Amino acid sequence: MDSGANIWVIGDVHGHFKTLESLIEQLSLNEQDIVVLLGDLIDRGPTSADVVRFARTTPNVYALRGNHEQMMIDGFDDALFFKESNEDARIWYHNGGKNTESSYMFLYGDDGSACEKALVDVKWMESLPTEIVLNDWRFVHAGYNQYHDVEGQPEEVHLWIRGLFFNSKHAIDPQRTILFGHTVTFTNLHNDDSKAGRIWSSDVLLEDGRPMAIGLDTCLYHSLPLPKVLAAYNIQTNKVIYQNKI
């Protein structure tokens, strides 16, 4: 950042690789620019395996672990894809894991190669951080518990929390704006369908006037007759770029 490089932060992709690819093209990245994906790369959409491959192999692209990555970690079996008679596997299957399995088979084949590739990706997901902390910013998938010190909160909170985070009436980190995904902005944050596809900013402000938190899950996968959008936020310029679902 000190050298002028841009850091673009992108909300939940949920297996929509073509949409992510088109959004990345809009960013007009320079060699030193960085993209951070806030987790939930997978499930629900048709091309999760492609999204993971892109995140793993593209220089200057980094990812956080989201709750859907955690569901894949917990529910995956390296021989059967889903663990038999396992509650974690059933939860993942019914929350988009079925789509993720199909995407691996389409990309890598259904002769066992899909499981082999997915196992490698699961090991990668296990290594992903659940937060990134900079001087003035925090990146996290879901958020933080407002009733505890922001430092050292459990990974489960980073992955799953909702209301106890975004309903806070005080700045959870007085020095840093928190960029997060996980919670769909128009249904849970704006509570306004007319703002579908728009990011959300908390009314709670830091001392420097910036919002306490900014929600970036503008939602690609809903079935309502409303915009389905992926958003990227530039922390250097505060510019937001939107890409409609492809």
Model pLDDT, residue 110: 85
Model pLDDT, residue 111: 82
In this structure, what CATH number is given to the domain that contains residue 125? 3.60.21.10
Model pLDDT, residue 168: 98
* Residues 6+ away with beta carbon under 8 Å from 40: 12, 13, 14, 66, 67, 68, 69, 141, 181, 182, 217
Query: Does 2 map to a domain?
Result: no
Q: Which domain holds residue 161?
A: 7-244
Query: Does 1 map to a domain?
Result: no
- The pTM score is 0.97
Query: Does 15 map to a domain?
Result: yes
Residue 245, both tokens: 């679902």
Model pLDDT, residue 112: 87
* Residues 6+ away with beta carbon under 8 Å from 168: 146, 202, 204, 212
Count how many domains the chain has. Answer: 1
Closest CA to 97 of 79, 117, 70: 70
Query: Does 230 map to a domain?
Result: yes
Give the torsion through C-alpha atoms of 22, 200, 9, 15, to 10 deg: -50
Model pLDDT, residue 140: 99
Per DSSP, what are the bridge partners of residue 7?
Answer: 34
Model pLDDT, residue 38: 98
- Is 240:206 a contact under the CB 8 Å cutoff? no
pLDDT < 70 stretches in the chain: none
Residue 24, both tokens: 């990345």
